[in-house]
Amino acid sequence: MSFSLHGIAISDGYAIGRAQLYSHDRLEAPHYLLRAADLDEEVQRYEAALTTVRQECSHLRDHLPEGTPPELAAFLDLHGLFLDDSMLAEVPKRLIREQSCNAEWALAQQTESLLAQFESIEDEYLRERRHDVKQVADRVLKALLGHPGHAPLKPVEDEPTILVAHDLSPSDMVLFKRHAYAGFITDLGGATSHSAILARSLNISSVMALHNARALIQEGDTLIVDGVAGVVVVNPDEAILDEYRLRQHQWRLEQQKLRRLKSSPSSTLDGVSIELLANIDLPPDVQEALDENAAGIGLFRSEFLFLNRADQPSEDEQFEAYRHVVKVMKGRPVVIRTLDAGADKSLAWLPVKSDNPALGLRAIRLCLAEPQVFTTQLRAILRASHYGTTKILLPMLASLTELDQALALIDAAKAELKAEKIKFDPTTAIGGMIEIPAAALAAEWFARKLDFLSLGTNDLIQYTLAIDRTDDAVAHLYDPLNPGVIQLIAHTLKVGKRLHRPVSVCGEMAGDARLTRLLLGLGLRSFSMHPAHILSVKQQILRSQTDALEPMATKLLRLGDPEKIQALLAKINA
Ligand code: PEP
Ligand code: MG
């Protein structure tokens, strides 16, 4: 029977192949009572199971295959932390003694109670960690039941294989990484789950949050994974298969065709040179930026170095990470955004409580509230500036008072380094992100105090339209073409031009090829995006004539009606 399932599109592209079911979460915990004399032994049995799992995790941690995404080691560390936490290390032992029950039953009860507690956490990122708790608890249960570790995964030879799992743990992903799966799909996993983060870095077509895929799909079923639309088609008929084979073929052709543009200079038909920069999250992503021939790093989201860990990264650790990127880019500019934590990127070691986190203590506000954290980072970035062109970018500025405070802390960090005779580039450029409407409207005053501006359109749209970026219920209202948004972008670009301050766009708009020509017409000359989008944006640039686009973009600024805006955009893109 043919049917389709809808989930969240995690990683682009199309995969067609046979289903391979991955099963490890249907373990039954037996329940029996013990005599008082046997309780010590039962507690020891539980401790032995914990030791086995600790060894398994540290073995995996020490034998990560080459090229494994760096986040994986951090996830395994997190699992190690859970194993050592009293919630798993102590409470089940207490339950064994209190209830005279077997270890499996004690663990099952405690797991259930922990999952309920995590389920009720409001913060999405922390709530997602319930999957990690479940994965660790399953491993301990397996050890108690005497099951061996996970059987190694292996795709069926000579045939594209799609992995179907209820959930995938980071340690599953180590095995997954070694084999060439065509795609994978899971029942669980929100957009910020560990598996989703890893899936993107593996670059395999995938769809998550399908709810019942594992139960409904049978081993060997034919599957289509549409990573563009977030759809999985199970046992499609020949007509649908043909349609998707065609889409897959076209998609691959497009990708190959785009590769030919890699070495073309990025300039328009009328000879205007356009800077194409890459956004990266972690130091190893820099390779992808080089592969796409990015002119530099336009946004290094440094907060990813601070997530998934129990403590703040030290100055030296941060310095090594920044220096690595700066050195690999060999003189091409690297814009390091200072810690943009808070809201959906919460830090375990610096929790922030807020009823409305997008409007709460995040980004520069959090850094100014925690000057020691901020100064440590500033010192690390400045030290890296000695090794190549480094720029500092301050996120989410709303007022000049914040900017002045941040600049004072940068000066203080420089003075410290100088006094300590530590080398840094004293001319390191300082830029500010324009992502709050007030900052866009007051761009002139920010530009006067800064070396460059960068439009964070993801947040600029969120705050201009009052739409929570993370809320599914209002996602359809998220509109980069809203006249209010376009006016703010145009105003900022105009100010930058007048005051001779470079302005780039580093939000998702920069990587959306449908908006490239409009942004060129509005005067944008520097785009920063995920490396995967660089070539499709370049393709648009190569066929553009800025002097022809400018009058059309100016005309669009005078429109308010969404239909007319869409019609003019179509003309701009024609
Ligand atoms: C933005 O808001 O557009 C941006 C680039 O920053 P982030 O997506 O990390 O908030
Ligand atoms: Mg932002």
What pLDDT, on the 0 to 100 scale, is given for residue 294? 97
| pLDDT for 33 | 77
506 in catalytic set: yes
Q: Please tell me which residue in 194, 491, 530, 533 is annotated as part of the active site.
A: 194
CA 224 to ligand 2 center in whole angstroms: 34
- End-to-end, the C-alpha distance of the chain in Å comes to 42
pLDDT band at 187; cut points 50, 70, 90? confident
Between 347 and 194, residue with greater pLDDT: 347
Residue 177 has what pLDDT? Answer: 54
pLDDT band at 11 (very low <50, low <70, confident <90, very high): confident
Q: Which of 127, 145, 163 is the last residue of a domain?
A: 145
Percentage of the chain exceeding pLDDT 70: 90
39 or 142, greater pLDDT: 39
Q: How far is the CA of 22 from the centre of ligand 2 (A)?
A: 37
Instruction: List Cβ neighbours of 359 (8 Å cut-off, separation of 6 or more).
Output: none
Q: What is the largest CA-CA distance in the chain?
A: 88
pLDDT of amino acid 194: 47
Instruction: Give the integer Cα–Cα distance in Å for 329 and 327.
Output: 5
Residue 393 C-alpha to ligand 1 middle, in angstroms? 12
pLDDT for res 215: 83
Q: Please list the residues that pair with 21 across neighbouring strands.
A: 164
Q: Is the CB of 457 under 6 A from ligand 1?
A: yes
CA of 506, closest atom in ligand 1: 5
Out of 10-19, 54-63, 196-205, 377-386, least confident range: 196-205
Q: Which residue has the tokens 């660790």?
A: 136
- Give the separation between CA 524 and CA 42, rounded to whole angstroms: 68
Q: Whole-prediction pTM value?
A: 0.70
Structure tokens at 364: 């520069």
pLDDT at 327 over 70: yes
Give the per-residue pLDDT at 30: 72
The pLDDT value recorded for residue 262 is: 94
CATH code, 231: 3.50.30.10
How far does residue 221's CA lie from ligand 1's centre (Å)?
A: 40
* Residue 429 CB neighbour total at 10 angstroms: 17
Tell how far the Cα of 465 is from the centroid of ligand 2, in angstroms: 14
Are 129 and 175 found together in one domain?
no
Per-residue confidence band for 45, with pLDDT thresholds at 50, 70 and 90 = very high
pLDDT of residue 384: 98
The per-residue pLDDT for 32 is: 76
207 or 394, which is more confident? 394
Instruction: Indicate whether 401 and 481 sit together in one domain.
Output: yes
CATH of the domain at 91: 1.10.274.10
Tell whether 31 is covered by a domain. no
Q: What is the pLDDT of residues 391-429, one digit of tens each?
A: 999 999 999 999 999 999 999 999 999 999 999 999 999
Specify the ligand 1 atom closest to the Cα of 299: 5
Q: What is the pLDDT of residues 251-270, one digit of tens each?
A: 889 889 999 999 999 999 99
- The whole-number pLDDT of residue 149 equals 44
* Residues 10 and 227 sit within 8 Å (Cβ to Cβ): yes
The residue whose CA has the least distance to atom 8 of ligand 1 is 458
Ligand 1 pocket test, pick from 345, 464, 505, 506 with the greatest ligand atom count within 8 Å of Cβ, gives: 506
Residue 226 lies in a domain: yes
Supply the pLDDT for residue 23.
63
459 in contact with ligand 1, CB cutoff 6 A: yes
For residue 386, give its domain range.
260-572
Residues 279 and 387 in one domain: yes
Split at pLDDT 50, 70, 90, the class of 179 is low
Helix (H, G, I), strand (E, B) or coil at 502: coil
Nearest CA to ligand 1 atom 1: 456
Backbone angles phi, psi at 424, to 5 degrees: -160, 165
pLDDT at 176 over 70: no
Assigned domain for 30 exists: no
Q: Which amino acid is at 367?
A: C
The DSSP annotation for 199-234 comes to: HHHHT-EEEE--SSHHHHPPTT-EEEEETTTTEEEE
Ligand with smallest separation from the Cα of 480: 1
Q: Say yes or no: 404 and 489 in one domain.
A: yes
For residue 170, pLDDT beyond 70: no
Overall average pLDDT of the 422-438 stretch: 98
> Is 230 touching ligand 1 by the criterion CB < 6 Å?
no
Total of domains in the chain: 3
Give per-residue pLDDT as tens, 106-144: 998 888 888 888 888 888 777 878 888 888 888 898 888
Q: pLDDT value at position 199? A: 64
Distance 366 CA to ligand 2 centre (A): 14
Mean pLDDT, the chain, whole residue set: 88
Mutate to test the pocket of ligand 1, among 297, 359, 458, 508 (most ligand atoms within 8 A of CB): 458
155-176 mean pLDDT: 70
Q: Which pLDDT score is estimated for 150? A: 44
Pick the last residue of a domain from 145, 162, 187.
145
Quick one: 472 and 534 in the same domain?
Answer: yes
Query: Which of 21-25, 189-193, 538-542 has the highest average model confidence (pLDDT)?
Result: 538-542
Q: Alpha-carbon distance 484 to 488, whole Å?
A: 6
Q: Is 57 a catalytic residue?
A: no
Say if ligand 1 is within 6 A of residue 458 CB.
yes
- The answer to whether the CB of 168 is under 6 A from ligand 1 is no
> Ligand 1 in contact with 512 (CB < 6 A)?
no
Of 33-47, 58-72, 384-398, 505-519, which one has max mean pLDDT? 384-398
Q: Is residue 29 part of a domain?
A: no
Question: Probe ligand 1: pick from 338, 459, 464, 504, max atoms within 8 Å of CB?
Answer: 459
| 166 and 132 in a common domain | no
Question: What spacing in Å lies between the alpha carbon of 142 and ligand 1's midpoint?
Answer: 42
**Is residue 8 domain-resident?**
yes
What one-character DSSP code corresponds to residue 537?
H
Q: Which of 237, 256, 275 is the last residue of a domain?
A: 256
The pLDDT assigned to 174 comes to 45
Q: What is the CATH number of the domain that holds 395?
A: 3.20.20.60
Q: Which atom of ligand 1 is nearest to the CA of 508?
A: 3
Distance CA 186, CA 8 (A): 10
Segment (H or E) for 408: helix 400-419
| pLDDT tens digits, 440-480 | 999 999 999 999 999 999 899 999 999 887 665 676 787 89
Where residue 63 falls among pLDDT bands split at 50, 70, 90?
Answer: confident
Same domain? For 167 and 131 the reply is no
pLDDT greater at residue 155 or residue 300: 300
Q: How is residue 205 written in tokens?
A: 């077509």
Q: Is the pLDDT of residue 101 over 90?
A: no
